[in-house]
Structure 1
Amino acid sequence: MTIAELFSSLGDNPYFGAGFGLAGLGAGAAVLRKGLVVATILFRRHCMISMEVPSKDVSYQWILKWISVRGTKTHHLSVDTSITQNDVGKLTTKYNFIPSPGDHFFRYKKNWIKVERVREQQMTGAHRENPWETVTFIALGNNRSIFFDILEEARMLALDSIEGKLITYVAKGAEWRQFGFPRTPRPLSSVVLEEGVKESIVSDVKEFISNQPWYSARGIPYRRGYLLYGPPGCGKTSFITALAGELQFSICILSLSEIGMTDDRLNYLLSIAPQDSIILLEDVDVAVAGRDMSREDPDRFAGMGSLTFSGLLNALDGVASTEGRIVFMTTNHLERLPPALIRPGRVDMKEKIDFCTKYQLEQMFLRFFPDQNQEEATVFADCVMSHGQDVSAAQIQGYFMFHKNDPKNSN
């Protein structure tokens, strides 16, 4: 019987004409469709491997940069603008094209890989300014190493772009975000402190970094706290910045008086600080004083957040505090800090960064004017000291900048 005769007989069949036949065909089509769906799911489960990278993951930006460098073939693009800063501060802008949201394909190590970039409607971030995105890689087979290789290449590409640069992070919501552009580290020799002070701190930090087993063997918490105090403009922050460059560390700047800073948020931020970083708490006396005033006048200081003094102490050395952490605190008024904050265990080393001494004046003179001799430096230092007024390193540097082309008149 031919197909035409079959359909003709079905048309003459009263049961088929009454709808039973059409229902059967519909049921058969539904079963076939369900079978195709199940077969697709089983194929993807057993014959394909996938990796999802959400936008909140630190490797997300690495992956986007890696995709832009590889130049994935697609006609639907998004722009990724990168800005770099050279040694003299000049900015250079570069435009990279990356696949826009949607499906894209590229070949990697003889494997075809599908890239699905999805952008959701919901927003993320501290101020809900960024859309939630995911990038999913799908490949045939079950070899996970291909995704590991992609992540490693993306990581190395990201590290190459910032190698030898100083990165600064600031706290935004419940995460650390890069602030500004990676910049050339300041030489440690460019910061002139009183004789022996700089060397003492650097030696202590390096000894701490290289002696983790010593701390573990003795059951001592592996963390270190430093307090630099003294008048403003004397080089506290400059020294910490230069120290980070010397150690090839990044800097995480944390404001304790920030609106919305709570005990839990402070603990969490300290626990997720980037590896190989120095956490900088500037002007801690202002934050502590602000918290005290907010308790005295809650209405006036209603926006100060809910960080408590006990929460700060617990974050520095409590049960939940993290290991392997280096914290630098600065203050212009040591006398305003409660003894509990600067006791040993929370602050292991205190150094005063004071107004310029004769030694500092001489060393700064020779650094700004390397063609001058020690005698000229001594004359300059004696001249400054004879006025009987305290001067900061920032004031001396500004004075040298004004006379940078005429060192004789700087005396």
Structure 2
Amino acid sequence: MLRNAPVSSGALPSPLDIVTPTSATPPTFLSTFLNDNPYFQAGFGLMALGVGLTALRQGVVIGTTTLRRRMLVTLEINNKDKAYEWFLAWMSHQNTLQTSKSRLLTPLTRSHQLSVETTVEQRKNGSSSALFKLVAGPGTHYVQYKGAWMQVKRERETRSMQLMSGIPWETVTLTTLSRDRRLFPELLTEARDLAMRGQEGKLVIHTAWGIEWRPFGQPRLKRPLQSVVLAPGLAENIEYDVKAFLDRRQWYADRGIPYRRGYLLHGPPGSGKTSFIQALAGNLSYDICLLNLSERGLADDKLFHLLSNAPERSFILIEDIDAAFNKRVQTSEDGYQSSITFSGFLNALDGVASGEERIIFMTTNHVEKLDSALIRPGRVDLIEKIDDATAEQATILFDRFYGEQGTQDSLVKEFSTTLSNIVKEEMANGRRVSMAALQGLFIRNEAGDAVTKCRDLFTPKPS
């Protein structure tokens, strides 16, 4: 556009005389609203925009949650449930399989967050052994089971502990697609079978941990009942009584009699009391719950709970009951007096609040020290003495050690007869020998040497 000033002919216009045209863009609704609206400029618009964004975010969260509920399913297992240990052991087993094999039908992503579970077994001779098991630690893990991926999240609550045991609360949460929820029972069944398979044909020893029973050490091979040589008819009598009790559950219920049974085995040390109980439990496919009444922190209420909640198919074994309650006071070897009272123990055995479906075995070396209130019928139903070795017991044990070692039958019979005569002669002189001592002698020596050295094992019978 040119100015109105006259321009001489033949001359070019000055740049100052030329005005560049500007494009006239019409204003948009949004710019007009933001620039001209007094309410928006006052801050109400910004507030409305924030509310809108918040609502949008909440909508996204709700939509995601709804979609997650429809597409995913979760399973929570806490450490109070038996399946908790089974599942962790199953994961540990699968991880071990992947380490040892290059390919698996159901592969598992190897865990990089691990926890160690240590089991220490203390033996009576002072030796001990420790076993280590690596399991999935707190954190998030992923497994593939039968073609379905699962998220496994193990969480530990460190700010609160279980009241009685002092163990932190833990949970394992499994998450997978809703269509694969049927795999949860299958996985738990497989984990249970794996745990039971490790105990099949073995004896499990449980010990008290707070108010809970927990397996102690690894399951042990069952000991044949015939390997414990007792006086003739003694083992058969106890076994018959236990089996008769187990077969008369309904008989007890019909007559309103509490379904529980108590046994007391007494005799000198090394006579085979505890060994026989272990062998009997294995023969009946029972476990053993070992109860130490001198344990620190064990009070009457905890004792009630333990005796009323023993694992199924288990014997409760209380060893050296005379040492636990001497003159109705429980004192440990270091002089510590427990909070378990004698009356509390008696009430736990057969009081109003005592549990049923229970078999208790007690052992003692000094039956004369026991209070009559403890061994009365109803608390102790069968009392048997397991004494030192007799000539017949020594002969049977000798034949089992050397009769299958390729020794000539004539020599075995000769040594066996000699051993029997020695035992009879020493017993007539008031001397005795334990079955444990004879067994140790037979383990260390050949047949002839064992017979020659057996006289050194006899000790005077205590008055």
With normalisation by structure 1, the TM-score equals 0.86
- SS in structure 1 of the partner of residue 170 of structure 2: strand
Contact map agreement 2:259 2:356 (CA 8 A) in 1: yes
Q: Mean alpha-carbon deviation: is it higher for 122-131 or for 16-25? A: 122-131
Alignment of 1:199 onto 2:241: no
Rate the CA distance shift 1:15–1:118 in 2: closer, same or farther, 3 A. same
Rate the CA distance shift 1:271–1:24 in 2: closer, same or farther, 3 A. same
From the CA coordinates, give the structure whose radius of gyration is larger.
Answer: 2
Alignment of 1:14 onto 2:38: yes
- SS in structure 1 of the partner of residue 420 of structure 2: helix
Rate the CA distance shift 1:268–1:111 in 2: closer, same or farther, 3 A. same
Contact map agreement 2:72 2:175 (CA 8 A) in 1: yes
Alignment of 1:283 onto 2:320: yes
Q: Distance in 1 between matches of 2:185 and 2:173?
A: 14
Which of 402, 413, 424 aligns to 1:369? It is: 402
Structure 1 counterpart of 2:23: none
Deviation of 1:29 after TM superposition, in Å, equals 1.9
Contact map agreement 1:171 1:269 (CA 8 A) in 2: yes
Structure 1 counterpart of 2:438: 396
Deviation of 1:6 after TM superposition, in Å, equals 4.8
Structure 1 counterpart of 2:369: 336
Structure 2 counterpart of 1:297: none
Contact map agreement 1:258 1:304 (CA 8 A) in 2: no
Percent identity over paired residues:
47
RMSD between aligned residues:
3.1
Per-residue CA distance 1:119-150 (angstroms, 9 max, x = gap) = 22236479977543210112343886532222
Which of 194, 218, 226 aligns to 1:189? It is: 226
Q: Distance in 2 between matches of 1:123 and 1:233?
A: 46
Q: Distance in 2 between matches of 1:44 and 1:230?
A: 67
Deviation of 1:53 after TM superposition, in Å, equals 1.2
Per-residue CA distance 1:253-292 (angstroms, 9 max, x = gap) = 1111222221111011112222111110011111111643
Q: Distance in 2 between matches of 1:408 and 1:139?
A: 69
Q: Distance in 1 between matches of 2:347 and 2:260?
A: 14
Gaps of 5+ in 2: 1-26, 96-107, 122-128, 455-463
Alignment of 1:381 onto 2:449: no
Structure 2 counterpart of 1:76: 112
Q: Distance in 2 between matches of 1:81 and 1:308?
A: 34
Contact map agreement 1:84 1:182 (CA 8 A) in 2: no
- 1:379 maps to a residue whose letter is T
Structure 1 counterpart of 2:212: 175
Q: Distance in 2 between matches of 1:194 and 1:78?
A: 52
Q: Mean alpha-carbon deviation: is it higher for 212-221 or for 226-235? A: 212-221
Which of 77, 98, 114 aligns to 2:151? It is: 114
Q: Distance in 2 between matches of 1:261 and 1:360?
A: 40
Structure 2 counterpart of 1:105: 142
Q: What is the number of residues matched between the two proteins?
A: 398
Contact map agreement 1:82 1:95 (CA 8 A) in 2: yes
Contact map agreement 1:380 1:410 (CA 8 A) in 2: no
Gaps of 5+ in 1: 86-90, 295-299
Contact map agreement 1:121 1:132 (CA 8 A) in 2: yes
Per-residue CA distance 1:81-115 (angstroms, 9 max, x = gap) = 78899xxxxx997865x544333333434544322
Q: Distance in 2 between matches of 1:215 and 1:92?
A: 44
- SS in structure 2 of the partner of residue 292 of structure 1: coil
With normalisation by structure 2, the TM-score equals 0.77
Q: Distance in 1 between matches of 2:180 and 2:148?
A: 11
Alignment of 1:258 onto 2:295: yes
Rate the CA distance shift 1:397–1:95 in 2: closer, same or farther, 3 A. closer
Contact map agreement 1:403 1:410 (CA 8 A) in 2: no
Rate the CA distance shift 1:337–1:399 in 2: closer, same or farther, 3 A. same
Deviation of 1:8 after TM superposition, in Å, equals 2.4
Q: Distance in 2 between matches of 1:324 and 1:341?
A: 19
Q: Distance in 1 between matches of 2:345 and 2:199?
A: 32
Contact map agreement 1:227 1:330 (CA 8 A) in 2: yes
- SS in structure 1 of the partner of residue 354 of structure 2: coil
Contact map agreement 1:369 1:407 (CA 8 A) in 2: no
- 1:380 maps to a residue whose letter is L
